[in-house]
Each structure stands twice: as structure tokens, then as C-alpha cells.
Amino acid sequence: MPGDTARRTESIELDGSAGVVKARQLVRSLAQEAGLSLVDQTKLVTAASELARNTVVYGGGGRMEAEAAWSNGRSGVRLLFADEGPGIPDVELALTDGWTTGGGMGLGLSGARRLADEFDLDTGEGRGTRVTIVKWAR
Amino acid sequence: MTEDRGAQRLVELLADHEDDFVTQWVATVGESLSGRLSNAELERELRDLYAALRSGLASGALASREDGFAEIRSLLVELSRNRARQGFTPTETAISVFALKQVLEPSLTGSAKDIRAYLQLSRLLDELGLLTAEAYARTREEIISSQADQLLELSTPVVKLWDGVVAVPLVGTLDSARTQVVMERLLQALIDYNSTQAIIDITGVPAVDTQVAQHLLKTVVAARMMGADCVISGIRPQIAQTIVALGIEFGDIPTKGTLADALRHALDTIERDKRLAENRGSLL
Amino acid sequence: MTDRVPVLQIGDVLLVSIQVDLEDRTVLDLQDDLSKRIVDTGARGVVIDISALEIVDSFVGRMLATVAAISRVLGAETVVVGMRPAVAITLVELGLTLGGVRTALNLEAGLAALRRAVHTERPDRA
């Protein structure tokens, strides 16, 4: 029941690769609490790892906010990755699989979108990047 | 007049006529269930409900969500769950609550106090009736989803075919939920049976479209990353035609006509691998 | 404070067993360490055991592919063993297929795969 538990949002500073590890651990424990299957936990933690690394590497650091989510009797986990970095000028391009071309952010964003159930990208040149993903228990 | 007096009147009424009311209640509900529930059981259930209703009203509560009615709420949830499992309809379930209105009606005088009391009780019983409908629906949903799970389990058996060879015979339409289950089962079986060869037999699959092919390919790639090879068998002539017509590429995944051919292929591969990996003294 | 992943040597095989969730820097260190150890020891095979890893993201995935490619250049074969089913499913969905990487179910199967590779690809070398 949504009303029974106070929604608490946990926040993690993403300022280096130690933050990425911490983000993975927090997401894992939230995913377990939300009752995600082992495969879905793995998908969510992997997506979080990709997005957290993007925040550190391309966003120049930022934060992850994580919380439990409910909808239509299903439980899940909602994650927000936010940075004040240069933003992404060409979203279409950033969401194209391009990892083999090396270096670029191709797999991180597009892969994370495939691994999550919901994906929202809010960015633009010069105004930072906010990525929200949700994964629901089946 | 405060509401408390109305509740007070209800408490009195229910206390004074307890035996009458319960007997009539059981009779009315029993009739609607046309004997599919024993009278003794029904009477026990309704007596419990009656007692819980009385004690709730005695606590001064009038709305079904108040703490005083916690007991009757849980009794009703339990009752609705049982009715749903036993195959009663939602109407037959809700009537257990609503019938009490009918029972009470004749014993009321026309006084304003009685009318108010009756309206209050009526509102309370409406709320409780809705609660049974909700609990009923929830239980049905649980039953349906657990049946769907069981069906999924039944329709995707992964079997050990030989030492080092597991197989999954797919029967019926493949959608993404099912393919996901198949994929997970098959990959886990590779570890459980220490198998380096997996056969996916699609003899029983009526149609292969691009999406199904995509799912099969993903399974094969995942198995490969774990260190096992997959063979797809049972591709019927019509399916071979659709595969070609749709331009689906199975890449370098071996496909075989029959399960027997696939098994032979798998065993040959195991044999060849064993020969090539022969220990020549040192670790490598 | 860089924790390094230990690289063990057994005969002509180097064995790495990744036991903990690695920081990116540690992953890169491992890549460097392995290249160096292959040259120093003249190893002909590398086994990377990832059975303890709960996730493999694109960074670790790329490291595995890079190590496989580097070791090949240095005359050694690499095999990645023990990938969990959930990890494999996730990698496929992520879009990584570890194309050029040899894989095996477990350590024993990994050593067998190395023997096959060494015997078939360079049968005449010592």
C-alpha cells in the first residue's frame, strides 16, 4: 500500500568511480526490496552502472537519487541521474548504438534504455543532463 | 442529535434481536447460494460477522475504515477469498453483506431515530459490500496469475538429453514473456547439468516471425557467452520458407531438421572437443 | 589505496578470479597487470573467472574483450569462465556480445577450451 511506507529518496554523490560502485550497491538493495527477479535486478543494476559512469565521465560528476516506486499494485525502483555538465546536443545520436566506434557514450544510454521499463532523458546543450529510469517487478 | 446516538440505537437493535436476525440472515443468504455451502458453515461465518459488526458499532465506529471495524474487515476479506476460490460469483459473495439490510428492515419503527439508524447501517453495509467485491476481484487476479505461471512452467520444460546436452522442446506460440522464461531456464540448466550443448526444438511452434527469431538469437548469444553452443532443431518446411521470406538471418547458428539430428550434432561436437582438448602432459 | 586483483600463475596459465565489485580504475589496472604478466611469464593461456560477478557492465565487458585481443597479440589465449545466466541475459540486452572472447562454463571447461585453442591454432609450437 502506497500510504503505509514513507517514500524516502536516497541520494549518492557521483564524483568518481567509487561513487559508481556505491550507486550499484544501493540500487541492488532497493531492487531486492522491491521484489525484482534476479534477472531484473541484474538489468537495473547494470543500467545504473552505465548511467552513473556517464554522469561521472561526461557530466563532470553529479548525483543519483533512488527511491521505491509503486503503480497499479506493482512495486519498482525509480532512479534519477543528474549532472550540470555540458548536456547532450544531439539526443538522437546519443541514443544510437555506437559503442563499437569506441569512446562515445553509445552503449551507456541506449543500453540503459533497453534494460529499463521506463526511460526519460531531459537534456540540451549547456543545461546538464537528467536521466530517469524505472524498473517494475513482474 | 449526534451520530453516536444512531450507533447506540443500532447496537441496541442488534443486541435485542440477535438470534432472530442471524437465523433470518442465514436463511436469506443460504437461499441465494442454493445449498452450495453447508448451513452450519454459513451460520458460523455469519455469526462471527454479526459479532464483529456489533462490537465495531459498540466502539462508536460508523465508517467501515475505522479501527473498530478492523475485525469485520478481515473476516470479510477472508470470506471473499474463500468464495472466490470455491467458484461463487461476486454477487453471491456480496449478498452475504447486503442481505442483512433486508433482515433488519421489518423490525424498524417509522421513528426518525430508527430511520437515521437504518440509513447509517445501510451506508456501512454498502462499504463493507464493496470491500468484499474488491477482495473477491483481488483473489481472482491472484488465481489467474498463478495459473498463468503454472502454464508457463508446464510449457517450458528443460530436459537433460545426454551427458552435456540439454534440450527445450518449445510448444505453442512464443511471446516475449515466455521466451524470457525459456531463456532463463535454459541458461540455468547449462550450469545445473554442466552442459556445453543446448538444443532448442521448435517443432511445436506454429509460426516464426521476426520477433520470435530475435528472441531465439538472443538466447543463443547469451548461451554462447556462458560457454555453451546452441542448435535449433525442428524447423518445418513452412517455417523455413517464412524464415527465408522474412530475411531472418540465423547467422552461424547450426539448424537441424529433427531433434535426432541435433542430438547427433551435439554429441559429435562434444566428442571432437574432448579429442582436441586432450591433456598432453602439462596444463595446456 | 588501489586494490589490485591478484593474478595467479599455474604452469603456463595465468588465473584471475574477480571476487568483488570493481572500481573502473581497478579494472584498468587489471588490464595492465595482465598484459605485463603475459610478457613476463611467457604464459600461453589466461583464465578470467567471473563467476562471482553479479553484474558485468559495458566497461568490464570491454576490458574482457580488450584483454582477449591483447593476449592474442602477445601469443596467449584468453578464456572467460563462469558467467552467470542473469549476467549473460543482461549483456545481450545491453548490446554487448563479447564476440571475440572465448568462454566456458567453469574453470575445468575453460582449461579444456584453452588446450583446444593452443593445440588447433598453433599445433607445432612447443
Q: Where are the domains of chain C?
A: 7-121
pLDDT in tens, B78-107: 999 999 988 899 998 998 899 998 888 888
C114 neighbors A131 (Cβ within 8 angstroms) = no
Q: Between chains, do C24 and A53 touch, taking CB under 8 Å as contact? A: yes
Residues B181 and B93 in one domain: no
Cβ(B269)–Cβ(B229) below 8 Å: yes
Measured between CA atoms, the residue of chain C closest to residue B280 is: C115
Same domain flag for B101 and B186: no
Which class is domain A10-136?
alpha beta
pLDDT at B118: 86
How close A105 comes to chain C (CA, Å)?
10
pTM higher than 0.90 for the full model? no
Please answer yes or no on whether A107 and C58 come within 8 Å at the CB atom.
Answer: yes
Shortest Cα distance, chain C CAs vs residue A37, angstroms: 10
Q: Does B270 touch chain C (CB under 8 A)?
A: no
Domain range C7-121, its CATH number among 3.90.1150.10, 3.30.750.24, 3.90.550.10, 3.10.180.10: 3.30.750.24
Q: State the pLDDT at residue B282.
A: 64
> What pLDDT score does A102 carry?
41
CB contact under 8 A, C95 and A107: yes
User: Helix and strand tally (H, E) in chain C?
Assistant: 4, 5
For chain C positions 43-82, those within 8 Å of chain A (CB to CB) are 54-59, 62
Cβ-based interface (< 8 Å): residues of A facing C: 17-18, 20-21, 24-25, 28, 38-39, 41-43, 45-46, 49-50, 53, 97, 99, 107-108, 110-111, 114-115
Which range marks the domain in which residue B24 is found? 3-150
* Cα Dmax for chain C: 45
Residue A75 DSSP SS3: strand
Domain ranges of chain A: 10-136
Contact C88 B225 (CB under 8 A): yes
Check pLDDT > 70 for residue B24.
yes
DSSP helix, strand, coil percent of chain C (3-state; round to 5): 45, 15, 35
One domain, residues B107 and B245: no
Chain B: partners with 3+ C-beta pairs within 8 Å: C
What is the reported pLDDT for B138? 92
Q: What is the mean pLDDT of residues B269-276?
A: 92
Residue B88 sits in the same domain as residue B193: no
Backbone angles phi, psi at C43, to 5 degrees: -60, 150
How many alpha carbons lie under 13 Å from residue A127 in its C-beta half-sphere? 8
The ipTM estimated for the assembled molecules is 0.91
**pLDDT digit string (tens) for B143-160?**
888 888 777 766 678 999
> Which stretches in chain A have pLDDT values below 50?
1-4, 99-105
Which subunits have 3 or more CB–CB pairs within 8 Å of chain A? C
- Give the pLDDT of residue C56: 95
The whole-number mean pLDDT for each consecutive block of 10 residues of chain C, a chain of 126 residues, reads 84 93 92 95 96 94 94 95 96 90 95 88 47
Q: B128 and B167 share a domain?
A: no
Alpha carbon of A3: minimum distance to chain C alpha carbons (Å)? 33
Could you tell me what percent of chain B has a pLDDT over 90?
40
Residue B282 lies in a domain: no
